[in-house]
Amino acid sequence: MDGRRGSGLIRASQRIRRGWNFMKKLLAVSIFGFAAAFNSFSAPTSAEQLRSEFEAALKAGDTNAFLSLFNWDGVSNSMNLYLSTTIHSWSEFRSRYPTNQLHAFAWLHPLPDDYETEGVINGIRYGPNVSVVGMMQGSLSVDDNGTNTGWDAEFPYGEKSGGFYFAGTTTEKIYEPKTKDKILIVEVNSGDISDNSPAFAGTYAYVQNGLEIKKGIKGKGTAHKISFGDYVKSCFVQKTSGGTNLLELEISEDGKKIFDSQMVETNDSISYEKKN
C-alpha cells in the first residue's frame, strides 16, 4: 500500500472514531435530558405489557419509546453511554435494510442461575434501580440474499411500585481503590453445544482491593464469568455429567491469557492456583 494513501486511511479512520465518540457523548447527553420526561410516562403494569411495548418500539424504530421503558431514578451517566451505543447499533442495522423487510420480536427469559444484580468496579458499586425478575431479549432480523442476518440485545427488567421497567443502573462510591481493577475472565468450554455437552461446576476466587472474593461457576457446554479486580487467585472445575467429553479452562487478565488447561479428556478436575 502507498504510504501516503495508508496514512490518509489512518487519519480517516481516526476521524470516524472521533466522530463516533462525539456522537456517543451527544446521544448520552440527549438521553440524560429526556430521562425526567420519560419517568412521567405511565409504566407497563405487567412483564407481558413491557414486552409488547418493546416489540412495538423495535418494529417502529422508535428509540424514544424504547427509552421510556427504562426506570430512570438515580441513573448514572455510564448507563447513558451504554444505551447510546445500543441505540447506535440498532439504528445502524435498520439503515442497512428496507424497514418493510425487517422482522422484530421480543421475548421474556428467566434470570440465569448465576445472574448477579450488583458488581463493584474501581471502588464503585453498580446496581439496578428496580427489583430484577428476568431478562428481555429484543431482535431484528432480515433475509439478506438467503442468509438470515440479525441484531439483538438483552436487558434485565423488573418491578418497582407496581410498574414494570427495564432496569436502570445506579452507582455508589464505596471505597477509594488502591489500584485500577483489571478485567478478569474465567471461561470453561467443552467445544460442544449439543444436548450431549458436559455439565460442570466449580468455584473461583479473585482478589479485589486486597480482599479475596469467592464465587461459583457452573454450566453446560460453556460458561463465561467476568469479574473486576487485582488478579484471579484460584479456580477449580469438574464435570458433573458428560463422561469423557472434553473440557477446557482458560483464565485471562486484561486480555492476557494467564492459564490454559487445553482440552482435558479425563473426568479429573481442572485446577488453577496463582503462583506467588
- What DSSP letter does each residue of 25-59 carry, written as one string? HHHHHHHHHHHHHHTTSPPPSSHHHHHHHHHHHHH
Q: What's residue 17's pLDDT?
A: 37
Classify residue 36 as left (phi > 0), alpha (psi -120 to 50) or beta.
alpha
CA distance 27 to 77: 11
Please give the helix or strand (H or E) that residue 89 lies within, else none: helix 77-96
What does the buried/exposed string (b/e) look like for 31-50 if buried means 16 or more CB atoms within 10 Å of the residue's CB? bbebbeebbeeebbeebeeb
CA 63, 66, 68, 70 dihedral sign is negative
Binned average pLDDT, 10 residues per bin, the chain of 276 residues: 34 34 38 49 92 97 93 83 88 91 96 87 94 96 90 95 94 94 95 79 96 93 93 94 83 96 84 92
Q: What's residue 34's pLDDT?
A: 47
CB atoms within 10 A of CB 238: 13
CA distance 160 to 155: 16
CA distance 157 to 123: 25
Edge-first strand listing for the sheet containing 147-160: 103-110, 131-144, 147-160, 163-166
3-class SS of residue 202: strand
* Residue where the block lists cell 438467503: 146
Q: What's residue 32's pLDDT?
A: 43
Q: What's residue 215's pLDDT?
A: 94
Q: What's residue 103's pLDDT?
A: 95
Please give the helix or strand (H or E) that residue 206 lies within, else none: strand 199-208
Q: What's residue 163's pLDDT?
A: 96
Q: What's residue 40's pLDDT?
A: 53
Q: What's residue 75's pLDDT?
A: 87
Q: What's residue 276's pLDDT?
A: 77
80 contacts 86 by C-beta, under 8 angstroms: no
Q: What's residue 243's pLDDT?
A: 67
Q: What's residue 39's pLDDT?
A: 56
